[in-house]
Amino acid sequence: MQESLANRVIAITGAASGIGRACAQELARAGSRVVLVDVNGDGLATLSSELGPGVEALAVSASVRSESDMKRMADEAVARFGRIDGLVACAGILRRGQTLKTVGDTSLEDWDAIIEINLTGTFLSNRAVLPAMLAQKQGDIINMSSTSGRQGRPFDGPYCASKFGIIGLSEALAEEVGRHGIRVQTVLPDAVETPLWSQNGPAALKPPQTIPPERVAQLVCYMLALPRDTYLLNPVIAPCKTRKKRGGADST
């Protein structure tokens, strides 16, 4: 049986859009108290208003690239709710700008921006919530990787490196804090219908089949609600590849 998510305090980075936004909405529906974290303050305000008056939500405008911002996020969450039961680290970018670049054409500025948001941001947000979770002797961290964290893709070298890194970071952290009652898991989404695809620009590399971010959010909630003696190891969530009809009938 799954544990209830009601009244659990869950922080979500990248909450203003995409998978982070869907996770915040799904957790709020499950009765969780949510800490909405994003550099986009206007997006957080819109999300907070949409969640409705019955949801306990704290909006924190902060950058995952900033060590001080992530500490402030954790401090504000503890000050408001007294604890932090979970973190869902969703903040990330696909690329800087809309120009597709090979690794050979990637500037150090492009590399640093993607690594700092995706990988360093995951590290800083994870580290920020650990003191509260260690004091409680319990907590959940779910870090958002990607199928690009298992197999590299052309024109996305920095993104792939960051997502590979998230898996390694998460597995190392899980070994360190598991004995303290803290569970660390990762999710590896394939193609998801989010604004991230707009970064492909006119090349329009968006795949023909995607899944809505709500499907990823439902998996995240399932993982957070698993019994304490159970975890999922790097689950992949992907769109079903439907087959074309042949001879007027669906093939199976």
Q: Provide the phi-psi class of 207: left if phi over 0, else alpha when psi is between -120 and 50, else beta.
A: beta
Which residue, chain included where needed, has tokens 């580290």? Answer: 127
Which residue, chain included where needed, has tokens 């298992």? Answer: 150
Token code pair at residue 84? 């932090």
Gyration radius of the chain's alpha carbons: 18
The set of catalytic residues is: 159
With a CB cutoff of 8 Å and minimum separation 6, the contacts of 194 are: 17, 18, 19, 213
CB burial string 79-106: b at 16+ within 10 A, e below:
eebebbbbbbbbbbbbbbeeebbeeeeb
Distance between CA 120 and CA 122 in Å, rounded? 5
